[in-house]
A and B are shown apart, each in its own frame.
Chain A
Amino acid sequence: MSGAAAIVRDLPPLLWSGTVSGCLYGVGALGLVMVFKSSRVVNFSHGNLACLGAFVVYGLSSGTLLSLSWESAVALALGIVAAVSASSYAAIAPIVFKSDLASTIVTLGVGLILQGAVQLVFGADIVNLDLPVPRFGLSLAGIRVTSYDLAVLATTLIVVGGLFVIIERTKIGVAFRAVSTNPFACEVCGLNLRVVHLFSWLAGAVLGLVAALLIVPTTFLSSTTVPSFMLTAFTAAVVGGFSSLPGAAIGGILIGIATNLFSFYVSPEFMNSFLLAVILLTLNFFPNGLLERAVGGRV
């Protein structure tokens, strides 16, 4: 009986915090799926690029390199991340239509370079990087809701909503949907595939940076935390089907809740093994993602 009472007491906060971090996994996964849908490349540099962006924000706002305001540091970091993402797309541009596996290897190379760059400039330091939001918290039906949670939810809604509007309403968004459905037909119709690819790579980089900046306050920032956070985003993308945008978002929330429950009830030390098991089980039983039936495999 006390076991049931403990579950009733523990479960709502676990579900809540799982949903909050799940939103971020979803945002990270959206970046991967955007890139994959348009250019058929799994971007292994996603996590390293987001890590670089977060470190740039830290370096520019903490006084390590400069002491700018948080907002201008983020603006500069967005510029840098976009530039790096565009140049990594430029690197795979000659082979992107020939071999998706070779392009994937090149993204690993980009990831290695970014990892090395972060270690060169910032060392193996472990630092804190908070969000500039006022701290407050309130209790709702036994769940503690903090200002951080609300900031995460608001940002996720704005970012995902903005992405949705761009994809549904703008010209580039329509082109993106067309390219992800049938690139050959698009080329026949005179659409420039490179522009669409570049759009998705830039969008992916921005989504990655947003996710990294929002996740870092809950842990800390080092040259390894963000890339391993991104493994969770990869898992979310696999669970969602890797080529479905709503799937990525919902997969993120599912994974957020699942990892939270796993680390509370089983063991926080075996988190990556748990994710590995989730990936293998998903690939075995739902090769197209859990949500293939529910949402459909399209945008």
Chain B
Amino acid sequence: MRFGFVALAAVLMLAPLIAGGFLLYSLSLCLANALAVLSVSVLVRYGGEVSIGHGFFVAVGAYTVAIMEHQLGLSVLAGAPVAVVLGGIAGFVFAFPSRRLSGIYFAVATMALALALPEILIGFEKITGGFEGLYIALDLIPGVSKAVQRYYVDLAVLGLACLALAQFRHSRQGMALLMARAQPRAAEAMGITISWARISIFTLSAALASLAGALLGFSSSTVSPNSFTFWTGVFLLVGSVVSLNGLSLPAALVGGAFITLVPTYLAQAGDWVPILYGIALIAVTLIANAGDLRRFLPGGRR
């Protein structure tokens, strides 16, 4: 286990020596998407909620970085923290109304959020650049080649996020949230307010998604309504389900790579991508939830 982790870290650290050009660019996007997938998984794991609207918070982060560069001339170093705060605020505002309801109403509300995103991006074109979007050109570390610094910045942030989540799992707050999900009544009796647990986990998840968006904008150097559609949030959920909602670095990488590399390298198969994603979503969900599959075999029922 430990050896596997060291090997994975070494491969990730050394990848830019071998990969170059377009592959390195795609790998940076994989890392940024992995963080976005992680934000959806956090919500599923700790909150027991399904969101198909996380594309909204990713867009908040990406556009924050782009707008701060255009209006104030600041790089992603200043943009990313602001993105985290704004994403958290947006998540809080969104989660507050549905704090007392079951996850199903919540999923419907995130669908509306996903559908509202494109028209908001296009509608406020004075700030967001409308259909054309905005470019992000400023470097974080001057003097290092763009492709390399994008890769390492994304890798560092993703690694830190995974470490922080591993810490969070054993913290008082993390335990409280897990308890609120698994045993709501017991948690209430222990003094944990369920509605606040729901709001805080969604706020955390949205802030994480927004940070991922900041990285995504930085690594793709452009933001536009084309990159943040209704489907962005659905695909993030696909990535999260494919990674079995795991919160570890390898799980996040699997999810991020699935939703980044499949559309990139199957570009000529365009319309097959949603079909493939749909099949993956159904297959993984069924296998993960069906429990012991032997009971479907004749004579296997005990």
Contact = CB atoms under 8 A, between A and B. Distances in A.
Interface of A: 36, 40, 42, 44, 91, 94-95, 98-102, 104-106, 108-117, 119-120, 228, 231, 234-235, 237-238, 242, 267, 269-273, 275-276, 279-281, 283-284, 287
Given A42-B104, A106-B281, A269-B123, A279 B112 contact: yes
Interface stretch (B26-34, B94-102, B209-217): B94-102
24 contacts: A91-B286, A94-B289, A98-B289, A101-B48, A101-B49, A101-B50, A106-B286, A108-B52, A112-B274, A116-B273, A120-B272, A231-B112, A234-B111, A238-B109, A242-B105, A269-B119, A272-B115, A273-B120, A275-B116, A276-B112, A280-B97, A281-B97, A283-B101, A283-B105
Contacts of A272: 112, 115-116, 119
A231 B117 CA distance: 13
Contact of A109 (B49, B50, B122, B279): B279
Contact of B274 (A113, A228, A237, A269): A113
Contact of A104 (B50, B279, B291): B50
Contacts of B285: 95, 102, 105-106, 109
Contacts of B111: 44, 231, 234
Interface string B264-282: 0000001111111111111
B275 A113 contact: yes
A275 B119 CA distance: 12
Contacts of B116: 270, 272-273, 275-276
Contacts of A281: 97
Contacts of A276: 109, 112-113, 115-116
Contact of A91 (B50, B237, B282): B282
Contact of A110 (B101, B105, B278): B278
A281 B97 CA distance: 7
A127 B114 CA distance: 25
Given A102-B289, A283-B98, A234 B282 contact: no
B241 A280 contact: no
B138 to A, nearest CB: 31
A116 B52 contact: no
A241 to B, nearest CB: 10
Interface in B91-142: 94, 96-98, 100-101, 103-105, 107-109, 111-113, 115-116, 119-120, 122-123
Given A95-B289, A276-B109, A108 B234 contact: yes
Contacts of A106: 281-282, 285-286
B196 to A, nearest CB: 15
Q: Interface SS of chain B: helix, strand, loop or mixed?
A: helix
Interface in B63-109: 94, 96-98, 100-101, 103-105, 107-109
B112 A235 contact: yes
Contacts of B109: 238, 276, 279-280, 283
Nearest to A235: B112
A238 B105 contact: yes
A117 B275 contact: yes
A112 B119 contact: no
A231 B115 contact: yes
A102 B245 CA distance: 12
Q: Interface SS of chain A: helix, strand, loop or mixed?
A: helix
Contacts of B96: 284
Interface residues on B, range: 35 or more
Contacts of A234: 108, 111-112
A108 to B, nearest CB: 6
B290 to A, nearest CB: 5
A112 B108 CA distance: 16
A255 to B, nearest CB: 12
Given A108-B237, A273-B120, A280-B94, A116 B272 contact: yes
Nearest to A274: B116
Contact of B115 (A40, A228, A267, A269): A228
Contacts of A119: 270-271, 274
A101 B277 CA distance: 18
B275 A116 contact: yes
B291 to A, nearest CB: 8
Contacts of A42: 104, 107-108
A94 B290 CA distance: 6
A215 B52 CA distance: 25
B96 to A, nearest CB: 7
Q: Give the most central of B48, B108, B237, B279: most A CB within 10 Å.
A: B108
B105 A271 contact: no
A112 B277 CA distance: 7
A116 B278 contact: yes
A237 B271 CA distance: 31
Q: Give the most central of A238, A269, A279: most B CB within 10 Å.
A: A279
A276 B110 CA distance: 9
A201 to B, nearest CB: 16
Contacts of B276: 116
B140 to A, nearest CB: 33
A109 B122 CA distance: 28
A271 B101 CA distance: 25
A235 B115 CA distance: 12
Contacts of A271: 119
B60 to A, nearest CB: 14
